[in-house]
Amino acid sequence: QKEVEQNSGPLSVPEGAIASLNCTYSDRGSQSFFWYRQYSGKSPELIMSIYSNGDKEDGRFTAQLNKASQYVSLLIRDSQPSDSATYLCAVNLDTGRRALTFGSGTRLQVQP
Amino acid sequence: EPEVTQTPSHQVTQMGQEVILRCVPISNHLYFYWYRQILGQKVEFLVSFYNNEISEKSEIFDDQFSVERPDGSNFTLKIRSTKLEDSAMYFCASRENEQFFGPGTRLTVL
């Protein structure tokens, strides 16, 4: 079964530190990768998308993709208490398939 | 900034009743989706909709579910005969390049 895997956490980091969130996926044909943030009781909020190998930076966020290793990560620099949330990795698992397959999410706690 | 909207925010129903969840996608988006999230579990894909027809559905989306775009703005999910296990958050999403989610409808089946 095609899956997206994440450590559930919680990942606890001090304010100002770098938080590193990881995700692996099972389908080599996957083309599109997304990170969503979800606060408790709220809907997923898109943070980053990444489509090609390497790094993509947007403000304090950097997404990293390694298709050979089937691995995607999200780095959050200068973590703030407001970053405390669950971070969901989502993948379009098959070429042409538009539905997203989500991981179970990693809960991040940023300690003031 | 354009956003996906959903109504109602919370729906309580009795088992066996029909419910209709409503969504207004972002206006220039062409692809629409329904997902659900049971409390404490993953976000799960239900169905995608493009050009006035279902383009993809999951094994969860059985005969008790249906979707419709009754006019140029609304996108609805109908559950014909609700079960206790249908209790979940239901999210609508729309897409141009990336999927943007609405705030969700919390469905509680008693």
Q: Which residue in A42, A46, A105 is closest to B98 by CB distance?
A: A46
Q: Which residues pair with A24 in a beta bridge?
A: A5, A71
* pLDDT value at residue A95: 56
Residue B35 has pLDDT above 60, yes or no: yes
Q: Compute the Cα dihedral for B89, A111, A13, A17 and give only its sign.
A: positive
* pLDDT value at residue A66: 97
Rg (CA), chain B: 13
Distance CA B72, CA A48 (A): 29
**Among the ranges given (A2-11, A12-21, A58-67, B60-69), the one the predictor scored with the smallest mean pLDDT:** A2-11
Contact yes or no for A49 and B97 at CB 8 A: yes
With beta carbons less than 8 A apart as the criterion, state whether B20 and B71 touch: no
Q: Which residue in B33, B41, B102 is closest to A99 by CB distance?
A: B33
- pLDDT average, residue stretch A25-36: 92
Residues of B in contact with A105 (CB under 8 A): 42
Residue B43 has pLDDT above 90, yes or no: yes
C-alpha B56: how far from its chain's center? Answer: 14
pLDDT digits (tens, 9 = 90+) for A32-49: 999 999 999 999 999 999
pLDDT digits (tens, 9 = 90+) for B7-20: 999 999 999 999 99
A31 touches chain B (CB under 8 A): no
Residues of A in contact with B58 (CB under 8 A): 99
pLDDT digits (tens, 9 = 90+) for A72-112: 999 999 999 999 999 999 999 775 667 999 999 999 999 99
* pLDDT value at residue A1: 65
Angle at A30 between CA B33 and CA A8, to 5 degrees: 75
